[in-house]
Amino acid sequence: MKGIFFTPRAAFICFALFFAASSAHAVTLTYSTFFPPTHIQAVTSENWCKEVEKRTDGRVKIQFFPGQTLTRAPQTYEAVTDGIADIGVAALAYTQGRFPVMASLDMPLGYPSGVVATKAANALFEKMEPVEFDSTKVMYFHGHGPGYIHTRKVPVKKLEDLKGQRIRSTGMSANIATALGGTPVSMAMPDTYQSLQRGVVDGSFHPAETNKGWNMGEVVSYMTIAKPAAYTTTFYVVMNKSKWNKISPEDQKVIEEINKEWALKHGEAWDSSDEEGMVFFKDKGGTVITLDDAESERWATAVRPVIDNYIKTLDDMKIDGANVFDFINKVIATGDAQ
């Protein structure tokens, strides 16, 4: 029997055909985030992209677009459903009313950390399976650490100090600002620095992280810590369904495993950046005001109607609002979704 012999040309053709067949199954995706490229959340998202490419052996490649270079923050979800971006991250608060079940997370429930907020978000989605995200493939959720009032000129030591102050807020935090006596001004984070700098607003709701991550520590002077009324902002990471379905089942499984790991990484990143943001704020001359127990309880009492009203909103939608909040509060209290 004669041996099989390949000429160099034949070997090249075989290699090219093999490479073309392998590449035919590769998927290239775009990823949009409003976080600036140096922000820890943008870095964490970009590392997710790299990890996906690594663990799928290059079968799934992702082009990363930070800083709203592909889509504006409030339009991100619709951009993903329409295929303008294949993957996107944004805050639930930027499209108020669009995600009623998951928006329950953004209430002033006394969140102690980003890790806990992140656990609560992913556990709630898994438990409730809300239809509000059915038009996309959800990767995961994450949430920042405790959100507090920051002000430019007036130190807020009691509820009365907030009266008439224009407070930058988004989504549910606008209702919180109203309940505390302030005047909410709806505004996405990328627009906040200049608004504070120019005096368009007198203060802002944000976590300590934001003082460094978005340089807000340069334009605010006071941070008021009211732990019982601390809120979070929940962020979603979603993929276009059509693009998800183009990924092989094997690689889909790989990505879902990465998602479980990366959700926690985002939560941990929020917490580490809270520490950095606090240092930055103080280095810029900022003053931290910690309310005593009695005043903190006044704040908790003031925001309770916001929660009660939202429970009623969910009930009116035939969703058991009390059950939703009982579940979230359990995760907050125990730090565990089980």
Give, for all 338 residues of the chain, the pLDDT tens digit.
444 344 444 444 444 444 433 444 789 999 999 999 999 999 999 999 999 999 999 999 999 999 999 999 999 999 999 999 999 999 999 998 999 999 999 999 999 999 999 999 999 999 999 999 999 999 999 999 999 999 999 999 999 999 999 999 988 899 999 999 999 999 989 999 999 999 999 999 999 999 999 999 999 999 999 998 999 999 999 999 999 999 999 999 999 999 999 999 999 999 999 999 999 999 999 999 999 999 999 999 999 999 999 999 999 999 999 999 999 999 999 987 65
Question: From CA 315, how far away is CA 86, in angstroms rounded?
Answer: 34
What's the rounded Cα separation, in Å, for the pair 75 and 8? 53
* Maximum distance among all Cα pairs of the chain, rounded to whole angstroms: 97
Q: In the prediction, which pLDDT does 338 show?
A: 56
Spatial strand order of the sheet with 147-151 comes to 183-186, 166-169, 203-207, 147-151, 222-225, 287-290
Token pair of 60 as six digits: 């799934």
Q: Where are the alpha helices (DSSP H) in 40-96?
A: 40-55, 76-82
Residue type, 166: R
Rg over CA atoms, the chain: 23
Enumerate residues 6+ apart whose C-beta is below 8 A from 232: 105, 106, 109, 111, 114, 117, 143, 144, 145, 146, 147
* 234-240, strands of its sheet edge to edge: 60-65, 27-33, 87-91, 234-240, 136-143
CA of 199: how far to CAs of 109, 155, 177, 202, 219, in Å? 29, 15, 17, 6, 10
Strands (DSSP E) along the chain, which ranges?
Answer: 27-33, 60-65, 87-91, 136-143, 147-151, 166-169, 183-186, 203-207, 222-225, 234-240, 287-290
User: Which domains, and CATH codes, for the chain?
Assistant: 10-143+233-274 (3.40.190.170), 147-232+283-334 (3.40.190.170)
Residue 9, exposed/middle/buried by CB under 10 A (0-12, 13-18, 19+)?
A: exposed
According to DSSP, residue 306 is labeled H
Residue holding tokens 């951009």?
79
Report the distance separating Cα 190 and Cα 210, nearest Å: 11
Instruction: Report the percent of the chain where pLDDT is more than 90.
Output: 89
In this predicted structure, what is the pLDDT of residue 8?
Answer: 47
pLDDT, position 335: 82
Helices 172-179 and 293-316: crossing angle in degrees, nearest 10, is 130
Amino acid in position 201? V
User: Smallest Cα–Cα separation from 329: which of 184, 83, 112, 169?
Assistant: 112
Q: Which of 172, 141, 168 is nearest to 77 (CA)?
A: 141
Write down the pLDDT at residue 172.
87
pLDDT of residue 337: 60
Buried b (16+ CB within 10 A) or exposed e, 238-271: bbbeebbeebeeebeebbeebbeebbbbbbbbbb
- Picking from 252, 253, 267, the residue whose alpha carbon sits closest to that of residue 337 is 267
Q: What is the pLDDT of residues 166-186, one digit of tens each?
A: 999 988 899 999 999 999 999
Nearest-10 crossing angle of helices 40-55, 249-283: 160
Residues 293-323: pLDDT tens digits? 999 999 999 999 999 999 999 999 999 999 9
For the question of whether the overall pTM of this predicted structure is more than 0.85, the answer is yes
